[in-house]
Structure 1
Amino acid sequence: MKRKFVTNLILLLFLNLLIKPFWIFGIDRTVQNTVGDESYGLYFALFNFSMLLNILLDLGITNYNNRNIAQHNFLLPKHLSHIISLKFLLAIVYAIFTFGAAAIIGYDQVQFHLLVFLIFNQFLISFTLYLRSNISALHLFRTDSFISVLDRTLMIIICSLLLFTSMFNIVFTINWFVYAQTLAYAITALITLSIVLSKSGRIKIRFNLAFFAVFLRKSYPYALLILLMSFYNRIDSVMLERLLPHPIGKEQAGIYAQAFRLLDAVSMFGVLFAGLLLPIFSKMIKLKEHIGQMAKLSFTLLIVPAIIIAISSLYYSSEIMDVLYTSNTENSSGILGILMTGFIGIATTYIFGTLLTANGSMKQLNIMAFTGMLINVTLNFILIPRFQAFGSAYASLVTQLFTGAVQLILAIRIFQLNVNFRFVFQILIFIGVVAVIGTLSKSIGHWLTGYLSMILGAFVFAILIKLFNLKDLYKIIRYE
């Protein structure tokens, strides 16, 4: 299992490092610089609003299906026949509730127009993720790896034609950005569906209410977890746009988006870990295999880069934001350091939250997520009027560190994992030394040289103290 995890993780990271940084920094960032912070802030708030209720599109189906099919492959044709029809019914429910909520909070005609396409995009994303859950559950990780970057690859091509050529002779607006996403998501969904059908054989779409009821009863704890986590991960920009007066709210949401984009970028790699680990952990638990070593390996591979990213962002936030953006960087640079520190909690969640999900420990996870949501919403209400986007950043930091710590403690208790005090000491020493390296790197000539030197020095030190044991990783890839 360790060999399968590491080799497929390398492929997944390679593909995503090849495609997604170009999407984030070459396309998404350029769009914001082109249309302006206020226009992009409107889109960003609407995008996050469309995500708040997107659990109605899924109701926990994807995570439950991944775990279930990983343990019982033969159920794929039967479940696929029923769940595809269920997904379309849920799309209607999601659209009704989202439009209703938008009307209640007072969105205007322009916002509703964009929201129509964003709602359809959310359906396409959810449908593709469900289809991919079947592919990864069958341990077809290489196929899933290529699909994971397909939508972004298509968006890069479409947006590049719109932004950098005169082929279509248009003035680029935020609307075109949304339309390009819709086209890319639709093509990706169709390709993914054809791959899944090739593995399941012919299916017949069925509307079986009894099956729906039984399946949703099993999946609803996963749905509740995703809903609660969506709130404390995505509500910040919505509250900024709604709580602050026009046009300050939209502008602050845009400033927050500048820094959040980078957090979202690094969080994608946590998502990749979780996508690989959920079916692997599920199968290991079913076979009653000891998961301690796999948990430690995956946590180490993610937490070390998370610490480096967090500390380097604190030291070089101003330089990074000045390179990427053309306005308001004096504010967004401070927000970047705060949000990236929270990535340490997010990385912990992606490992131990995934382990607890694979184990079916949903009651504990939902209590944790509900508490996290209360903390986040309360802090946003208190801090936004006074500190604006900085208030949302601090609310996110507290929430992410709290929820990550709770999931780590839950995993240790439920799986009776031995606390490796030597490993804990190594992590603490590593944090201290990375901070020292960061301080020293500021005295090096050009900031980029100092920044790269800091990252390189941190990774070298991780290898020297054997947080990263290259010899063991080679053995896993080569032999096990």
Structure 2
Amino acid sequence: MRKAFLTNILLLIFINALIKPLYLLGIDRNIQLITGTSQYGMFINILNFTIILQFISDFGLQNYTARFASQQKNIITSGIKNLFGFKILLSIIYFFVIIICSRIWYGDQINFWFVIHVAINQLLISAMLFIRSNIAGLGLYKTDSLLSALDRVILIIVCGLFIVTPILRPYITIELFVWFQSISIGLCIIIGLIILASKQYQFDLQFLSIKDIKQITYICLPFALIYLTSSIFYKGDTLLLERILPDGKNEVGIYAASMRLYEAASMFSLAFGTLLLAMFARLHSDVNKLKLLFKTSMHLLLFITICISFTGYFYSKQIISLFYHTYDEYWSLILTFMMLAFIPGSLNYILSAYFQATHKEKLLLYIYIFIAIISILLNIFFIPSFKALGSSWTYLLSQAILMFVQLWFIHKTFKFNVKLYTKPIAFFGISLVGFYLIHEYISINYIIQIALSNVFILVIAFYSKIFSIQELKQIWLEKHNS
């Protein structure tokens, strides 16, 4: 299992290191630069509005399917195929809820049909994620990894053509961008269905009985509420920025600039969490192997996140200038706090995956409700005075609190030795000091400084045995997967 984990992580890292950051920083960034900060901020606000309500269409089916399928020896004959019919019903409900809630929240301030189009894209994304969760549940991790980036590849090709072609560039609008998204996701859905059909996966779209709906709702409700509460503290800040501030759309655009860099970096940790959800589920009855996989993944991700986080923190001005052609300290200051939030935010992907895979959804839900309330209250307190900067503070505090709370409960389960915590803490401290000294006292080009700092962290990681070459070799040479 650990060998399978590392093998697929290498593929995920390759995909996410090239394609998804290229999309975010090459395509999505240019869309903002071309259409303007306020216009793009309006789009992000609407997008996050539809994402928060997407818990209705997803209803926890993605995570439930991945976990359920991972624990079934014959998914083809299991009752999980009936979820396709339930998925269609939920999508219809989601669509009508969007119509009603968008009228209430936005009134006549925005283009109503544009909101509908963005919501339709969310339905397509939800359908694609549901299909991918079934593919991952079948053990086709590599196929799932490739599909995870296919829509971005299509967008890179199509949008890239418009961006680099002088004749086509003036036609770029937010509306056209949303249409391109529809096409790319639609193609991915078709490919995903073909893959499932090739594995003799049966699609049962029969009408569900009231009894079936009640049973599925009871099982999936915790997953749905987890999605809702997590979406509130992940995406709710932009809604509050737009609603509280007179220049809210512009502030959302500024905040989105740093969040884009955060999300580009988070592709690694998101890949970890998605893959581990299915792998944790298969090992949920074997505490020793589960503990070992948890430790391996946490240490490996900690090393990666520290490298990325400290780079963004110490070189935020250079990064903002490079990507957005501005030397505004306000923009770079927001990025520094977002990059600090990157460490707990990344580790939370693994921690949350563990809770869901080991049937602790209710506990995770209570934790998320607590964090969502904290996030809302802190945003309401900070935004009027500090605007988008206040939202970055809230995001950092929320992610840090979430990490410590989850770790506390997991520690009670695994009863880890204290040394397991002292080593990562020492690694964090030494890495921070090393990064600071190189940044402040070695007067060379900042790119060379970054490279030197990350090499230093790599050396410390092996020296402190956060992960070792010998351990990685042993995992790689394992002949039997659990």
**Normalising TM by the smaller chain, what interval?**
over 0.9
Which residue matches 1:72? Answer: 72
Secondary structure of the equivalent of 1:285? coil
CA contact (8 A) 2:25 2:264 kept: no
CA contact (8 A) 2:52 2:231 kept: yes
CA contact (8 A) 1:57 1:123 kept: yes
Deviations 1:394-414 (A, max 9, x none): 11111100111111111121x
Pairwise CA distance, 1:307: 2.2
Which residue matches 2:411? Answer: 412
RMSD (Å), alpha carbons:
1.8
Paired with 1:204 and 1:315, the residues of 2 have a C-alpha distance of: 53
Pairwise CA distance, 1:111: 3.5
- Report whether the alignment pairs 1:435 with 2:432: yes
- Which moved further from structure 2: 84-93 or 177-186? 84-93
Paired with 1:289 and 1:135, the residues of 2 have a C-alpha distance of: 27
Paired with 2:164 and 2:277, the residues of 1 have a C-alpha distance of: 40
CA contact (8 A) 1:51 1:230 kept: yes
Pairwise CA distance, 1:475: 2.0
Pairwise CA distance, 1:429: 2.1
- Report whether the alignment pairs 1:211 with 2:209: no
Deviations 1:167-190 (A, max 9, x none): 757521111111111111111111
Pairwise CA distance, 1:423: 3.3
The one-letter code of the counterpart of 1:34 is I
The one-letter code of the counterpart of 2:229 is L
- Which moved further from structure 2: 82-91 or 214-223? 82-91
Secondary structure of the equivalent of 1:92? helix
Which residue matches 1:243? Answer: 244
Which residue matches 1:133? Answer: 133
- Which moved further from structure 2: 225-234 or 322-331? 322-331
Which residue matches 2:423? Answer: 426
Paired with 2:172 and 2:326, the residues of 1 have a C-alpha distance of: 19
Residues 53 and 470 (structure 1 numbering): CA distance in 2 closer, same or farther, change over 3 Å? Answer: same
In the TM superposition, 1:86-235 aligns within 5 A as 86-108=86-108, 110-165=110-165, 171-209=171-209, 210-235=211-236
CA contact (8 A) 1:80 1:203 kept: no
- Which moved further from structure 2: 251-260 or 68-77? 68-77
TM-score (norm 1): 0.95
Unaligned segments of structure 1, at least 5 residues: none
Pairwise CA distance, 1:327: 4.0
Pairwise CA distance, 1:264: 1.2
In the TM superposition, 1:352-391 aligns within 5 A as 352-391=351-390
Deviations 1:316-363 (A, max 9, x none): 111111100034742121111111211222222111211111111122
The one-letter code of the counterpart of 1:424 is Y
Paired with 2:188 and 2:292, the residues of 1 have a C-alpha distance of: 35
Paired with 1:163 and 1:116, the residues of 2 have a C-alpha distance of: 26
Pairwise CA distance, 1:289: 5.2
- Which moved further from structure 2: 106-115 or 207-216? 106-115
Pairwise CA distance, 1:161: 1.7
Pairwise CA distance, 1:164: 1.5
Residues 4 and 101 (structure 1 numbering): CA distance in 2 closer, same or farther, change over 3 Å? Answer: same
Paired with 2:13 and 2:426, the residues of 1 have a C-alpha distance of: 27
The one-letter code of the counterpart of 2:428 is I
Deviations 1:53-111 (A, max 9, x none): 10001111111111111111424455464222222221121121122221112243644
Residues 328 and 449 (structure 1 numbering): CA distance in 2 closer, same or farther, change over 3 Å? Answer: closer
CA contact (8 A) 2:251 2:388 kept: yes
Which residue matches 1:311? Answer: 310
In the TM superposition, 1:35-54 aligns within 5 A as 35-54=35-54
Deviations 1:424-479 (A, max 9, x none): 22222222222222223223321122122212221222122221212211221133
Secondary structure of the equivalent of 1:467? coil
Residues 261 and 4 (structure 1 numbering): CA distance in 2 closer, same or farther, change over 3 Å? Answer: same
Secondary structure of the equivalent of 1:200? coil
Paired with 1:479 and 1:186, the residues of 2 have a C-alpha distance of: 39
- Report whether the alignment pairs 1:392 with 2:391: yes
TM-score (norm 2): 0.95
Paired with 1:92 and 1:72, the residues of 2 have a C-alpha distance of: 29
The one-letter code of the counterpart of 1:441 is I
Residues 398 and 198 (structure 1 numbering): CA distance in 2 closer, same or farther, change over 3 Å? Answer: same
Residues 479 and 286 (structure 1 numbering): CA distance in 2 closer, same or farther, change over 3 Å? Answer: closer
Paired with 1:226 and 1:324, the residues of 2 have a C-alpha distance of: 31
Pairwise CA distance, 1:134: 1.1
4+ long deviations beyond 6 Å: none
CA contact (8 A) 1:33 1:326 kept: no
Which residue matches 2:461? Answer: 462
Aligned pair count reads 476
In the TM superposition, 1:221-370 aligns within 5 A as 221-245=222-246, 248-286=247-285, 290-327=289-326, 329-370=328-369
CA contact (8 A) 2:62 2:133 kept: yes
Which residue matches 1:15? Answer: 15
% identical aligned pairs: 31
CA contact (8 A) 1:345 1:404 kept: yes
CA contact (8 A) 2:69 2:75 kept: yes
Secondary structure of the equivalent of 1:108? coil
Secondary structure of the equivalent of 2:171? coil
